[in-house]
């Protein structure tokens, strides 16, 4: 019976750890997306601008860029976010 409790406890601990990692990565991705927005990633102008249609979907492109940056190592913020989340548990 005790062995089962330890296994279940270990599984719960792993799930919480995985959730902390996922939340930390999502926070970093959102932060990168906002940074890209502030550096002008949303700016569309000139003859090659896509008008209102492009403006509507620009956030999706910016989010995908942020996802790619985060997957390649990001800014290193995910580790700090994760540590902070774990210290609150």
Q: Is the model's pLDDT at 64 over the cut of 90? A: yes
> Per residue in 32-42, is it b (16+ CB within 10 Å) or e — as a string?
bbeebbeeebe
Give the domain ranges of the chain. Answer: 2-87
Q: In whole angstroms, give the CA distance from residue 12 to residue 9.
A: 5
Convert the pLDDT of each residue in 20-59 to its tens digit. Answer: 888 888 889 999 999 998 887 666 666 766 677 777 788 8
């Amino acid at each position: 019976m005790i062995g089962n409790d330890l296994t279940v406890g270990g599984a719960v601990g792993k799930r919480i750890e995985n959730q902390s990692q996922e939340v930390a990565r999502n926070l970093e991705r959102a932060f990168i997306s906002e940074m890209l927005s502030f550096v002008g990633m949303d700016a569309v102008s000139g003859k090659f601008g896509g008008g209102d249609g492009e403006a509507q979907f620009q956030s999706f492109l910016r989010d995908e860029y942020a996802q790619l940056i985060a997957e390649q190592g990001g800014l290193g913020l995910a580790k700090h976010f994760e540590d902070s989340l774990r210290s609150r548990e």
